[in-house]
Amino acid sequence: LLQRPFFAVFQNEVLFNSKRAAPYVLMLLFIVNAVIWSVNGRAVLRGWATNSDFNIARNFVGFSWILGLPIFTAVIMGDPVLRDFRLGVDSLIFSKPISRAAYLFGKFFGNFFVLVCCMAFYALTLIVMQVVHTSEMLVLPVRVFPYFKHFFFFTVISHLLLAAIYFSVGTLTRSAKMIYGLAVSFYPVYAIISLTLKNLPMRWKIALDPLLFS
């Protein structure tokens, strides 16, 4: 099963990213921010329990939006196919018995798996901070499921959509400028969408919000 083209491409992307600096830089950045937001975040200032559902959800929304994660998603997801054409190995790859569907799906899910692993370090650090906490932090009994629940819905699902957009644009245009231009334009575009939804009833605002941040 692991020798099938999809899994071969998937495995190759994971191995390639394991040798890049970018994933490790992202992991370190996410860990540092999780520590800072736990030790000196709004929960400490307002007297909220740092591991309450409200604060956990709030942290993941902030992580998915404020920290620049939409741009970091473009760093991982924008150039997997472009990279092969840039290195000139595309003709070699397509000379092998591999379908374009297996190639593209392997590329996409291999890199998205790496992205999720990087983002998971933020969630895992928040979980650890329940045990390794300061005296100023108000902490409920240790819990794990709420972290994975909010991480999945607010971060993984939301950025799956962004990852698909970046990957598609990168594949179709083979232009790094287009990918990063799209990533930078995310914030003004999303602000316009939010303003458009502002006056709608809450149920419609949530249903039509493409990234679930409402």
Give tens-digit pLDDT for 59-68.
998 888 877 8
**pTM assigned to the model:** 0.86
Residue 5 corresponds to which amino acid?
P
Residue 180's pLDDT is what?
A: 86
- Bridge partners for 49 per DSSP: 138
Unique residue bearing structure tokens 């594949």 = 171
Q: pLDDT value at position 111?
A: 95
pLDDT at 1: 46
* Separation of alpha carbons 106 and 130, rounded Å: 36
Q: Report, as ranges of residue numbers, the positions in the chain whose pLDDT lies below 70.
A: 1-3, 90-95, 206-214
CB 84 within 8 A of CB 171: no
- What's the CA dihedral at 44, 65, 117, 78 to 10 degrees? -160
- Residue 29 is predicted with a pLDDT of 94
- pLDDT tens-digit profile of 49-59? 999 999 999 89
What is the sign of the dihedral through the CA atoms of 40, 43, 48 and 54?
Answer: negative
Query: Given this model, what pLDDT does residue 176 score?
Result: 83
pLDDT for res 62: 86
Q: Is 199 exposed, middle or buried (0-12, 13-18, 19+ CB in 10 A)?
A: exposed
